[in-house]
């Protein structure tokens, strides 16, 4: 969605959308904190009536100062004191109930959002920038919307009550001025509504700018990125980019602020003119004996009260509009994930029996989207069960993309992938993935303990230390982990250790992290397909040799797909497939390919030459 389309969408926030967002917020609030909701409703409604009653009592007290009985005056004064106490106590009570309600309800909101995010079956959605922007708004909703909407709606109701009370009060003294004050609010209402829409549009525009700004910020504070940034002195470049994004966002916010200043300045002027005129009229009327002192006091409180209540009402309406928009983004994200999964099922969900024959890619074509070139162009490949297949080829040939299709992170644009003859589109995605073990080329380094880093491979094994150690042993990393200050419980991070934890976290070397990633993949003891995308790229020669011996043992009799640029590592594979420019160029065993003197033979000879002695 482009910004202008988004702007259109924001302008089209209809009553129906608003009502749906408000209903969802109210439901979340009620389910999360029913008692706090009740307290909030009671305190807000009671608080709305207090100023009106106080204005009346003050007027009555002033009118009876001369000539009334002492007991009546005492009663009025006590009533006023009681109301003063209520006026002091109700707001903090209401704030506490509102905050507590907000925390509980927003927790539910965030929980639901991340459940939905975790259930997204592929990567395409997360790579979509407009989805990312929506997601940011939805995350902002998770931080404030539910409690905020309920509080704002109650504030609107309270403002309406207070306004009605003061309008009634004013009407008794001067029907004419009541109409004038109310009429002066009509332009204010329209102006505030327009302002609120402008704010919403501004928020949407700033959203992508903020995302980029955050990216530059996080780069400059990431220890991972800092080595390059410091060495290449790229910090100023990134700071400049960050500030440019910030300035763009600030310009957008300034435009909104200026509009707000104009509108609110105009409204304040109008309000003071009307208030001033009213005051002059009341003073003159009192002088002519048409109004008593009490009436003047009620009139002044009435005008000020109507204006204050109406301006509170406007602010509450604008704030509610803003929060409802955030909520709408939230609901849109939930809806996208719930109703339009990017990986549709072709037929009914089929069970997935253990692999017997093998996995077949049948005329698979793929591109990341229509604006991108084809990455795979009619790939036909069979990975027989129990055999090892190696995939080699130049950078950008499409090897990792093929792996992503096997994991169903994306869907083939044309053609199909068959698991023992069953199209994997007919299999629930979770079931398919449970059958796979994988080390990806950009492997993850989690800021978690060593044990947790491995257990990510199967979180059910989190407390199963022998299983975790078994996987670490298979990946040749058990010794390194055991030697860490707290063994498997050592935090592998220097930045995310807890504040009360005095022991420093530990960091691993690149090759050790890679072995840890391998341990994660090997935690699934009998995967039907083991995918190893460059599992040894960061290892020293000895470690690489060791890991390949271990993997060869582990892969024997298992179905595996190994991608590597180190051709010595793939020579023992049952079948070697050379991918070139998205097509299979050659296929066979090592010796067949060497004899064929094609791309594989050329690459292999080139690498082998690099290891030969020179005179």
Ligand X SMILES: Nc1ncnc2c1ncn2[C@@H]1O[C@H](COP(=O)(O)OP(=O)(O)OP(=O)(O)O)[C@@H](O)[C@H]1O
| Helix, strand, coil tally for the chain in percent (to 5) | 65, 10, 25
Least distance between ligand X and beta carbon 567 (Å): 13
Contacts of 34 by beta carbon, 8 Å cutoff, 6+ apart:
none
DSSP assignment letter at 159: H
The tokens 């402008």 sit on which residue?
198
- Is 385 within 8 Å of 419 (Cβ atoms)? no
Least distance between ligand X and beta carbon 345 (Å): 23
Complex with ligand X: residue 441 or 503, whichever CB lies closer: 441
Least distance between ligand X and beta carbon 404 (Å): 8
Least distance between ligand X and beta carbon 587 (Å): 16
Complex with ligand X: residue 48 or 397, whichever CB lies closer: 397
Complex with ligand X: residue 393 or 470, whichever CB lies closer: 393
Least distance between ligand X and beta carbon 118 (Å): 20
Least distance between ligand X and beta carbon 366 (Å): 9
Complex with ligand X: residue 177 or 410, whichever CB lies closer: 410
Other C-beta atoms lying within 10 Å of the C-beta of residue 481: 28
Other C-beta atoms lying within 10 Å of the C-beta of residue 446: 18
Complex with ligand X: residue 51 or 398, whichever CB lies closer: 398
For every residue of 308-346, DSSP letters joined together read: HHHHHHHHHHHHHHHHHHHHHHHHHHHHHHHH--SS--S
Q: Which two tokens stand for residue 86?
A: 């209520």
Complex with ligand X: residue 215 or 237, whichever CB lies closer: 215
- Is 409 within 8 Å of 440 (Cβ atoms)? no
Phi-psi region of 614 (alpha: psi -120 to 50; beta: other; left: phi over 0): beta
Complex with ligand X: residue 199 or 404, whichever CB lies closer: 404
Contacts of 606 by beta carbon, 8 Å cutoff, 6+ apart:
none
Other C-beta atoms lying within 10 Å of the C-beta of residue 201: 20
Complex with ligand X: residue 147 or 412, whichever CB lies closer: 412
- Is 431 within 8 Å of 470 (Cβ atoms)? no
**Longest pairwise C-alpha distance within the chain:** 124
Three-class SS of residue 256?
helix
- Is 561 within 8 Å of 532 (Cβ atoms)? yes
- Is 393 within 8 Å of 580 (Cβ atoms)? yes
Least distance between ligand X and beta carbon 405 (Å): 10
Complex with ligand X: residue 348 or 610, whichever CB lies closer: 610
Least distance between ligand X and beta carbon 506 (Å): 29
How many whole angstroms separate alpha carbon 344 and alpha carbon 424? 11
The tokens 């204005």 sit on which residue?
55
Complex with ligand X: residue 127 or 338, whichever CB lies closer: 127
How many whole angstroms separate alpha carbon 518 and alpha carbon 537? 12
Least distance between ligand X and beta carbon 305 (Å): 60
Other C-beta atoms lying within 10 Å of the C-beta of residue 442: 8
Least distance between ligand X and beta carbon 213 (Å): 23
**Phi and psi angles of residue 411, each rounded to the nearest 5 degrees, phi first:** -105, 135
Complex with ligand X: residue 123 or 484, whichever CB lies closer: 123
Complex with ligand X: residue 1 or 123, whichever CB lies closer: 123
How many whole angstroms separate alpha carbon 135 and alpha carbon 138? 5
- Is 351 within 8 Å of 435 (Cβ atoms)? no
Sheet holding 414-419, edge to edge: 376-384, 358-366, 414-419, 422-423
Complex with ligand X: residue 112 or 566, whichever CB lies closer: 566
How many whole angstroms separate alpha carbon 488 and alpha carbon 452? 8
Least distance between ligand X and beta carbon 442 (Å): 9
Contacts of 22 by beta carbon, 8 Å cutoff, 6+ apart:
149, 153, 324, 327
Least distance between ligand X and beta carbon 537 (Å): 9
Least distance between ligand X and beta carbon 409 (Å): 9
Complex with ligand X: residue 112 or 377, whichever CB lies closer: 377
- Contacting positions for ligand X (CB under 6 A): 127, 368, 372, 375, 393, 395-401, 441
Q: Which two tokens stand for residue 242?
A: 């960050």
Which among 440, 515, 427, 510 is positioned nearest to 471, based on CA atoms?
515
Least distance between ligand X and beta carbon 452 (Å): 28
The tokens 């990567």 sit on which residue?
123
């Amino acid at each position: 969605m482009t910004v202008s389309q988004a702007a259109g969408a924001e302008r089209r926030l209809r009553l129906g959308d608003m009502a749906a967002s408000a209903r969802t917020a109210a439901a979340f609030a009620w389910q999360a904190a029913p008692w706090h909701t009740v307290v909030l409703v009671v305190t807000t409604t009671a608080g709305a009536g207090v100023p009106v009653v106080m204005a009346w009592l003050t007027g009555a007290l002033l009118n009876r100062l001369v000539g009334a009985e002492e007991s009546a005056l005492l009663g009025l004064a006590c009533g006023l004191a009681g109301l003063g106490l209520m006026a002091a106590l109700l707001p903090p009570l209401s704030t506490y109930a509102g905050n507590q309600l907000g925390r509980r309800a927003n927790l539910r909101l965030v929980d639901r959002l991340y459940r939905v995010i975790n259930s997204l079956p592929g990567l395409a959605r997360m790579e979509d920038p407009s989805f990312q922007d929506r997601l940011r708004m939805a995350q902002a909703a998770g931080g404030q919307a539910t409690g905020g909407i309920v509080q704002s709606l109650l504030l609107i109701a309270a403002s309406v009550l207070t306004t009605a009370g003061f309008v009634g009060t004013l009407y008794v003294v001067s029907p004419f001025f009541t109409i004038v004050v109310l009429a002066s609010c009509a332009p204010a209402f329209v102006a505030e509504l327009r302002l609120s829409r402008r704010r919403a549009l501004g928020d949407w525009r700033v959203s992508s700018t903020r995302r980029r700004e955050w990216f530059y910020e996080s780069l400059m504070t990431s220890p991972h990125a800092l080595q390059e940034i410091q060495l290449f002195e790229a910090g100023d470049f990134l700071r400049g980019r960050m500030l440019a994004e910030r300035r763009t966002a600030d310009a957008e916010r300034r435009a909104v602020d200026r509009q707000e200043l104009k509108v609110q300045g105009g409204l304040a002027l109008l309000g003071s003119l009307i208030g001033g005129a009213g005051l002059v009229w009341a003073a003159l009327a009192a002088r002519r004996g048409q109004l008593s002192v009490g009436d003047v006091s009620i009139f002044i409180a009435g005008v000020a009260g109507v204006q204050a209540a109406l301006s509170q009402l406007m602010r509450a309406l604008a704030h509610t509009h803003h929060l409802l928009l955030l909520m709408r983004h939230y609901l849109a994200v939930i809806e996208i994930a719930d109703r339009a999964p990017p990986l549709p099922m072709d037929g009914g969900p089929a069970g997935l029996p253990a692999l017997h024959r093998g996995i077949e890619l049948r005329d698979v074509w793929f591109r990341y989207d229509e604006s991108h070139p084809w990455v795979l162009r009619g790939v036909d490949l069979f990975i027989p069960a129990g055999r090892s297949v190696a995939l080699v080829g130049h950078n950008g040939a499409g090897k990792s993309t093929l792996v992503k299709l096997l994991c169903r992170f994306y869907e083939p644009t044309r053609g199909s992938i068959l698991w023992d003859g069953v199209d994997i589109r007919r299999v629930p995605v979770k079931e398919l993935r449970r059958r796979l073990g994988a080390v990806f080329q950009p492997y993850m380094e989690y800021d978690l303990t060593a044990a947790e880093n491995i257990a990510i491979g199967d979180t059910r094994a989190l407390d199963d230390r022998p299983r975790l150690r078994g996987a670490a042993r298979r990946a040749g990393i058990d010794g390194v982990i055991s030697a860490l200050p707290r063994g498997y419980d050592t935090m592998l991070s220097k930045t995310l250790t807890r504040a009360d934890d005095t022991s420093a976290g530990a960091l691993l070397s690149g090759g050790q992290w890679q072995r840890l990633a391998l341990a994660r993949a090997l935690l699934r003891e009998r995967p039907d397909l083991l995918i190893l995308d460059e599992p040894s790229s960061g290892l020293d020669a000895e470690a690489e040799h060791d890991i390949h011996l271990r993997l060869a043992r582990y892969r024997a009799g298992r179905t595996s797909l190994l991608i590597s640029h180190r051709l010595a590592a793939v020579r023992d594979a049952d079948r070697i497939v050379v991918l070139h420019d998205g097509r299979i160029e050659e296929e066979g065993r090592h010796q067949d390919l060497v004899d064929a003197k094609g791309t594989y033979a050329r690459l292999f000879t080139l690498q082998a030459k690099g290891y030969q002695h020179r005179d």
